[in-house]
Every structure is written in structure tokens, then in C-alpha cells.
A and B are shown apart, each in its own frame.
Chain A
Amino acid sequence: GAVVSQHPSWVICKSGTSVKIECRSLDFQATTMFWYRQFPKQSLMLMATSNEGSKATYEQGVEKDKFLINHASLTLSTLTVTSAHPEDSSFYICSATGILSYNEQFFGPGTRLTVL
């Protein structure tokens, strides 16, 4: 199956700093990428949907100025957590679908963010 990678897999940062997480589709062109947040032992929470070359669509309650999403190419989307605070600590997961994937989402391994 198609492979989606995320970098970094784990990041620790100080409160007030910004953190960028990359999501890459390694062997297919991702027309749509999704960003999720997952709290321990809880479900996925969709944060935003991004299509290549256009602005991301954010879910209700997700601050777009805080969680900046860029999907500049068909293989890369980035999520930047700006001015991170301890409550932003979470597991962030991206997924991607491509033209030929028939709506199947391929998930990245996730990035654990810890804000001190």
C-alpha cells in the first residue's frame, strides 16, 4: 500500500515556541491531506482538510491561526503549531488520499508533541 511519513516522530518544545510537523506521501500524489489530533486512549479528532494548492478547511473549534497548514505540493503538507502551550501537547496524525486510492486514507505514524 501507499506510504505516508511524518517528521518528526516526537518533539519536545518550550511553551511559546512554534513547531512544524511534516507529512509526506512517499509513493503517490496526495491530492487531499488530513490532520488529526488524538488524545491518549481517545478517538481521532479531525482538525483540518487540505487540498494541494488551496487553503485548508478547518473543523469547527480549531484555530486556524494557531494551527497553520500548508499543502504546497502533492507530496507534502505541513502543520505548524504556533506559540505552543502545554495544552497543545498531543499526538498529531496526518493522512492522505490520492487520485487512485479510491478514497482510502493512508495514515502517517503520528507525531507526539510535548510542550513544556
Chain B
Amino acid sequence: AQRVTQPEKLLSVFKGAPVELKCNYSYSGSPELFWYVQYSRQRLQLLLRHISRESIKGFTADLNKGETSFHLKKPFAQEEDSAMYYCALSIGNQFYFGTGTSLTVIP
């Protein structure tokens, strides 16, 4: 069964519009969740993790245990946000990645 679900394969928003990339997970324990980003022609890199509760490049993600979600949000999308975004769940030393969402910010 898929541990991490990203329902949107492709997402397009206009510059300046809010953006939300959805992520749901399947785990009954205390999850450790991450968002990774892959910009064009670059390697995957960590965007943020729920433990640190920080905002990176204007993105935030709140863990909702009731809904088992960890959606990634940004109030005003920028063109440079166009990239592939992956939600990931860590259980022990096992990692589970979602299928990714390709975000395109239209100028």
C-alpha cells in the first residue's frame, strides 16, 4: 500500500497566486515528514521538515495528524518555485516518497 500519496501529478498556478501541494500519509505512529524539491537540472534537496516547523522560501507545511496530511503551502507563488515536489515519510531508517507533483508557476 502506498504510504505517501500526492494526488496531483501536475499543478499550475499563476504568479502571485496561493499554492497548495497536497500530501497524505499512511502511518499510525508519530510520523517524520519532509518535503523535497527538485529544480530543473538540479539534484533533489530538502525543502523543509515538519520537526523544524520553519518556513523555507516562503513555503510552510503543517502536520495534521487527524487528516494524516502534510500539505505544502505558499501564499504567493513565484516563477522560481516551478519544480518537482516530493513529500516523504520516514519510519525508522525507511523512507517513503510520494509520486511527486510538478508545479508550474505561470508568469
Judge whether A49 and B44 touch: CB under 8 Å: no
Give A57's nearest chain B residue, CB to CB: B94
* Chain B binding surface, main DSSP class: strand
B102 surroundings in chain A (CB, below 8 A): 41
Chain A 16-53 against B: per-residue CB contact (8 Å), 1 yes, 0 no? 00000000000000011010000001111010010100
Q: How many residues of chain B get a CB closer than 8 Å to chain A's CBs?
A: 21
Judge whether A105 and B99 touch: CB under 8 Å: no
B94 surroundings in chain A (CB, below 8 A): 49
Judge whether B99 and A43 touch: CB under 8 Å: yes
B99 surroundings in chain A (CB, below 8 A): 42-43
Chain B 21-45 against A: per-residue CB contact (8 Å), 1 yes, 0 no? 0000000000010101000000111
A51 surroundings in chain B (CB, below 8 A): 93
Judge whether A44 and B90 touch: CB under 8 Å: no
Bound-complex Cα distance A44 to B46 (A): 14
Enumerate A27-83 residues with CB–CB distance to B below 8 Å: 31-32, 34, 41-44, 46, 49, 51
Judge whether B97 and A44 touch: CB under 8 Å: yes
Judge whether A43 and B95 touch: CB under 8 Å: no
Bound-complex Cα distance A107 to B97 (A): 13
Judge whether B32 and A105 touch: CB under 8 Å: no
Q: Determine if B74 is an interface residue (Cβ-Cβ < 8 Å).
A: no
Knowing that A31-B93, A105-B44, A110-B43 touch, tell me 14 more A-B residue pairs with CB under 8 angstroms.
Answer: A1-B45, A43-B98, A46-B95, A46-B96, A46-B97, A95-B44, A97-B93, A102-B51, A103-B90, A103-B93, A104-B34, A104-B49, A105-B46, A108-B43
A-B contact pairs, 6 of them (CB 8 A): A31-B93, A41-B102, A49-B93, A103-B34, A105-B46, A105-B88
